[in-house]
Amino acid sequence: MQSYIKIENGVVPSVCSLDCPDQCGLLVHKKDGKITKIEGDPEHPITKGAICNKVRNMGERIYDDKRIQTPLKRIGQKGEGKFVPISWQEAIETIATRWKKLIHEEGAESILPYSFYGNMGKLSAEGMDRRFFYRLGSSQLDRTICNIAGSVGFSYTMGGSYGTDPEEMKETKLFVIWGINAVSTNMHQMMIAQQARKNGAKIIVIDVHKNQTGRMADWFIPVLPGTDGALALGIMHILYKENLVNRSFLQEYTVGYEELEKHVEAYDPQTVSVITGVPAEDIYTLARMYGTVSPSMIRIGNGLQHHDNGGMIVRTIACLPALTGQWLLRGGGAVKSSSGYLTYNQKALQRPDLLKQPTRVINMNLLGKALLELEKPIRSLFIYNTNPAVVAPEANKVRDGLAREDLFTVVHDLFLTETAMFADIVLPATSAFENTDFYTSSWHNYLHLHEPVIAPYGESKSNPNVFRLLAQALGFDEQEFKDTDEQLIEQALSHVSTPYFPVVTYEELKNERFVKAKDIDQLLKNLPTPSGKIELYSKKMEADGHPALPTHKPLVQESDLPFLFVPAPNHNFLNSTFSNNEKHIKLEKTPKLFMNQQNADRLGIEDGTVVRVWNHRGECELTVSTGDQVLPGVVVSQGLWSDALGKKHLVNALTPDRVADMGGGAVFFSGRVNVEAANKEKTVQ
């Protein structure tokens, strides 16, 4: 096997490392050792050569002048962006010296790692770093910012993150695309739905915003934010009443279907209509379609669980396919995430046993609070794979925390992000193209090996290599910190306990490129719920303090401000990644705020007006787009915009750092705001 790095001119395989369910197979074209073009790998069984525009232009990001080439030391004020280059030796020594002192004076818990999945590679996101921070005995981080509420909710019903295989979805006759902007965030799901449509399938989109995905639907159903659980219960009400449920399936594979039948009597279409904003006759039509068209598939998004009640919403929707027996049909069922099939040997890779005694655990959604309010303060942060100054809720609080003079912050990234501007030491990170790693998707069921396609940029280092250096500097001389990337992969692939994980070695992966999970069709035989069945009634939920049956719970009424604010992602950025790349910014034009025409008329705001959006947490500026894309009382923005365009587009200045009903999840979309033309004085604070 020759190293791809050594191939100066040619085409080499790769995998997209971004936090996106599609996890595309890529082909990277090289000339004189540099990437000249990135395209989709036509041999990839799911993504089949199609990739998004973001990654087609990724080469520009890899060789962007703004990329950090050496470690940096801050010389100006925090947030000011004045740094000077230093050597790796000085950087690592500075960190090690500071941490040794902190550990001696205040204990290792005064140090907090802060990371997410800017790089989805297992070694990059949850490998040597975890070993290091367990061994250090630092505070641990609960990584809750993305999908946890929905994952916990789905698991109460189905036992884990298991969904329908995308490769079966060509046979689906009814696609319900629910709370996911799939055209932008899961493009191959949409391509499969389109293929199925050619064979007669219908596409229904249920969303708070008629965005590019809603516009592609055969039927778009607008719903009020945070009310999807009620809508699902209304569907159940009709399915039971009109005998559209599959009783033999319910009997054999579920628990609680009789209790559920009684329970959903309360969710008659009239009542549900008032809660959801969906007309009663539409609820009937939807339920009858769902009850009669088979196979049907529900693609449950991440958007609808970024709410106070997000866990319960997903728990509730996850019950629907069982009511009609969809799980027995090819192309039938639902998918929120399928990460459960390819759960590798996490213990072997992450080594939680290196943690000598339990430490405090900090919910990443509460970063601002944690930095400003903890009695036993955090004195040092090590941030990698994430840009919390832009993506975390209550951004102003986060930034106040990051600005603390006594806080020693290290940021490892490819760019001088908004977060890195607050760092004392910045470390240059390799891009995923420069690393060895392995990947599993949260949507399709393939495992990929990635071998580096280009040499490290400048002096940049991969995440595992940085933690190897830090381990050495802190005197951790155990073998665990000397394992090579190849050894880490071998450990992660061996002695895996899930029935779906393919038996495969590192060497085999090198030749295979994509390896599929096995026996996915055995899901109903392996359900890891307490009863081994689909739990429509869940005793576990009761024990955890939730209603045992799916139940609508309204959003927290945090204030009387007139609008619910849904600051969603956009098409051309990936979270805040690409928000500093000119090409992507140009494609997005300006940060918009979608508002219903009725609201705009009443406020005297015209299409294209720059407005100030505010609440007690902060404010930002957006350009209004009026029309019927959102219901009255709801405003939607798109994109996590960079400070390079002025801090005024920081939507997370407005989002709450409350946590969702399950898993401590983020509630980005449950905040309330007021809106006013930017040139007027504020009327409400």
> Where along the sequence are the contacts to ligand SF4 (CB under 6 A)?
16, 18, 20, 22-24, 51-52, 54-55, 187, 574
Three-state SS across 193-227?
HHHHHHCCCEEEEEECECCCCHHHCCEEEECCCCC
As measured in angstroms, the least distance from the Cβ of 182 to ligand SF4 is 11
Site for Mo ion in 108-167 (CB under 5 A): 146
Of 226, 262, 150, nearest in space to 536 by CA: 262
The listed partner (ligand SF4, ligand MGD, Mo ion, none) that binds 223, CB under 5 to 8 Å by sort, is ligand MGD
As measured in angstroms, the least distance from the Cβ of 68 to ligand MGD is 10
Question: Are the C-beta atoms of 389 and 398 separated by less than 8 Å?
Answer: yes
Smaller CB distance to Mo ion: residue 27 or 145?
145
With a CB cutoff of 8 Å and minimum separation 6, the contacts of 85 are: 69, 70, 71, 72, 73
φ, ψ at 174 (rounded to 5°): -140, 115
With a CB cutoff of 8 Å and minimum separation 6, the contacts of 560 are: 672
Instruction: For residues 410 and 404, give the distance between their C-alpha atoms in angstroms, rounded to a whole number.
Output: 13
# binding residues, Mo ion (CB under 5 A): 1
638 lies in the site for ligand MGD, by CB under 6 A:
no
577 lies in the site for ligand MGD, by CB under 6 A:
yes
Please give the C-alpha separations between residue 200 and each of 145, 170, 183, 188, 193, in angstroms, as whole numbers.
Answer: 38, 10, 20, 18, 10
Among 72, 235, 527, 568, contact with ligand MGD (rule: CB under 6 A): 568
For the chain, the first-to-last Cα distance in angstroms comes to 64
Smaller CB distance to ligand MGD: residue 493 or 566?
566
As measured in angstroms, the least distance from the Cβ of 445 to ligand MGD is 18
Site for ligand MGD in 295-334 (CB under 6 A): 301-304, 307
667 lies in the site for Mo ion, by CB under 5 A:
no
The listed partner (ligand MGD, Mo ion, ligand SF4, none) that binds 55, CB under 5 to 8 Å by sort, is ligand SF4
Question: Are the C-beta atoms of 150 and 665 separated by less than 8 Å?
Answer: yes
Site for ligand MGD in 393-452 (CB under 6 A): 412-415, 417, 429, 432
Of 414, 333, 289, 403, nearest in space to 18 by CA: 414
The listed partner (ligand MGD, ligand SF4, Mo ion, none) that binds 24, CB under 5 to 8 Å by sort, is ligand SF4
384 lies in the site for ligand MGD, by CB under 6 A:
yes
Of 441, 433, 452, nearest in space to 515 by CA: 441
As measured in angstroms, the least distance from the Cβ of 186 to ligand SF4 is 8
As measured in angstroms, the least distance from the Cβ of 418 to ligand MGD is 9
The listed partner (ligand SF4, Mo ion, ligand MGD, none) that binds 463, CB under 5 to 8 Å by sort, is ligand MGD
SS3 184: helix
Smaller CB distance to ligand SF4: residue 367 or 574?
574
568 lies in the site for Mo ion, by CB under 5 A:
no
As measured in angstroms, the least distance from the Cβ of 379 to ligand MGD is 21
Instruction: For residues 273 and 388, give the distance between their C-alpha atoms in angstroms, rounded to a whole number.
Output: 38
The string of DSSP codes covering 167-178 is GGGGG-SEEEEE
163 lies in the site for ligand MGD, by CB under 6 A:
no
Q: In this structure, which amino acid lies at residue 507?
A: E
As measured in angstroms, the least distance from the Cβ of 297 to ligand MGD is 15
Half-sphere exposure of 272 (CA within 13 A, CB side): 29
Pairing between β-strand 380-384 and β-strand 111-115 as defined by DSSP bridges: parallel
Q: Which residues bind Mo ion (CB under 5 A)?
A: 146
Q: Which residues bind ligand MGD (CB under 6 A)?
A: 19-20, 116-119, 124, 145-147, 178-181, 184-185, 206-209, 211, 223, 225-226, 228, 301-304, 307, 384-387, 391, 412-415, 417, 429, 432, 463, 566-571, 573-577, 636, 640, 651-652, 655, 668-669
